[in-house]
Structure 1
Amino acid sequence: MLQRYNQPQPMPPVGASPAALNAQSPAAARVAANVPMLDVSIQRLEELIEIETSALREHKAINLKEFNDRKSQALLELTRSLRSLQGTGPNPALAERVAALKTRLAINQAMLKIHLEAVREIATSLSDAIRHSDSDGTYTQAISAVAKRP
């Protein structure tokens, strides 16, 4: 019996045997082959997020650009893996993994926000100190008035 390409297919159980996969339709076999790739993609992204979050929590010096580049690459890989599963039925195990990833991303986002706010405060303090050290007082009142405008 021919099946339409876009028709949702039931997801095979995670870790299904090769014999069980061969007994399934070609679409189901394709999905089964892509689930491990997706699992690896999620695991890589989780590990990367955890490393960055831990470094931020411990106030370690990190290269944010490098982490951003690596997260972008991991998200691209994840998107490609998810795209290969479009049109398939729901997979509770996969939904659970994605929910856990979403939680880790929210924690990472909160840590990055704290870090960026601290950087902003330091930059403001430094620019104020430079402005005050360079000033002879002539324009101080005018600069303060402009800085206070909304």
Structure 2
Amino acid sequence: MSANPALVTLHGLLDRLEEAVEEETAALSQRRPLDFEEINRRKSRSLLELTRAIRSLPEALDGALPARLASLRGKLLENQDMLSIHLSAAQEIAAILGREMGEADSDGTYSFAQVTRHASR
């Protein structure tokens, strides 16, 4: 008995999505350069294809699918954690640079804190 083509396609899509997520997570955790535009394009395309493939699935799924989806979920959660760490770091750096730039531009008449407080009103 041959495998259902929709299931074969789905497993291929899961492979590609997992590969993209693993690549991004590894690059972030190892502090390697990463083309975020390219990785986001790959993940978005994979998710779109996955959504389309799920619509064509048969009623009876193969037994390996729940385990594959659980594995993917774990990888996505790990990826989310790494992205969150890097986003927080980028926000902290931006805040530091913003403060430093404000203080460097100030002639001492007003403190940067007063200016930003006034601007937020």
Q: TM-score scaled to structure 2, two decimals?
A: 0.88
Q: Which amino acid aligns with 2:65?
A: L
Which of residues 94, 97, 112 is equivalent to 1:123?
94
* Matching residue of 1:65: 37
Number of residue pairs aligned between Structure 1 and Structure 2: 119
What's the % identity of the aligned pairs? 42
The answer to whether the aligner puts 1:89 opposite 2:56 as a matched pair is no
Is 1:37 aligned to residue 2 of structure 2?
A: no
Counterpart of 1:105 (choices 70, 76, 82) is 76
1:56 alignment partner in structure 2: 28
Give the structure-1-normalised TM-score: 0.72
Q: Which has the higher helix share?
A: 2
Give, in whole Å, the separation in 2 of the partners of 1:146 and 1:37.
57
Mind listing any 5+ residue stretches in structure 2 that lack a counterpart?
none
Superposition misfits of 4+ residues, deviation over 2 angstroms = 89-92, 143-147
Of residues 109, 114, 118, the one that matches 1:142 is 114
Query: What RMSD over aligned residues (CA atoms) do the two structures have, in Å?
Result: 1.9
Using the alignment, how far apart are the partners of 2:63 and 2:118 within structure 1?
Answer: 56
1:46 and 2:18 are equivalent in the alignment: yes
Q: Which has the larger radius of gyration?
A: 1
Unmatched tracts of structure 1, length 5 or more: 1-19, 22-28
Residue 8 of structure 1 is matched in structure 2 by: none
Which digits, 9 at most, give the CA deviation of each residue in 1:6-31, with x for residues without a partner? xxxxxxxxxxxxxx24xxxxxxx8xx
Name the CA distance, whole Å, in 2 between partners of 1:80 and 1:122.
40
